[in-house]
Amino acid sequence: MRQLENKIALITGASQGIGKTIAKKFSREGACVVITARNKNGLESVAGEINDSGHKTFIIEADLSHLQDIRRIVSETIKECGRIDILVNNAGIIHPSIDLIDLDPNLWNEVININLTAPALLSKEVLPFMIENRSGNIINISSIGGRMGGKGRTAYRASKAGLINLTQSIAAEVKQYGIDVNCICPSATDTEGFRKNIDQRGRDHNPKIMLPEEIAEIALFLASDASSAITGTSIDAFGGTNPIFN
């Protein structure tokens, strides 16, 4: 039997990168995936790939910076699928390297809203349904940047640090209902966002950089029954870029 047979998984930021790869992985493992992002064309492309492989997916074009869109994502998923078993808060913004003194306050707000506030509010909207079912998994995609500060990405690192803390706090609140909440902290991963804002050469230049599939495997583990002993945990996924190798 596939690991996520008959599960309903809601995945944000699923039009590309890690979110797209998680959606495809979950679908192959039997989940009905609901994918959301601002990029409708990207969502349709991902859905086409999943549907062509004989699996089922639904798309919801939405902007996570708007509370009404967050609520609509959940209501449409419940209407279409009846429940939500797995929530993957993957959507995020990587801003270019900018020192805080030069950072536009509007960019700060955008990064915090998408990377931290949206996962909190989306979890808030999903949790009543998980509590009613006495089961569920929430998986937050943070970053190794959330483990420490660093020059030029103040907003990004602050938001990802908050997401680690948010994971622990929600986990403490909902374990009694059979809900597990965990976090993945990837290091350099060859995604569109990484190539745009950090290194356009990606893995072509540095073979130590991870592939999105490697992060998707961790997400699959956390979404499956195999991780039943784990909650409130943040898993560092460094791959070959682990500092112990340097």
Residues that are catalytic: 156
Residue whose C-alpha is closest to residue 92's, from 111, 109, 73: 111
In one-letter notation, the amino acid at residue 152 is G
Give the tokens for residue 91.
């959507």
DSSP 155: H
Beta strand spans in the chain (E): 8-12, 32-37, 57-61, 86-89, 136-141, 179-186, 234-237
Return the CA Rg of the chain. 17
**Cα separation, 45 vs 49, whole angstroms:** 6
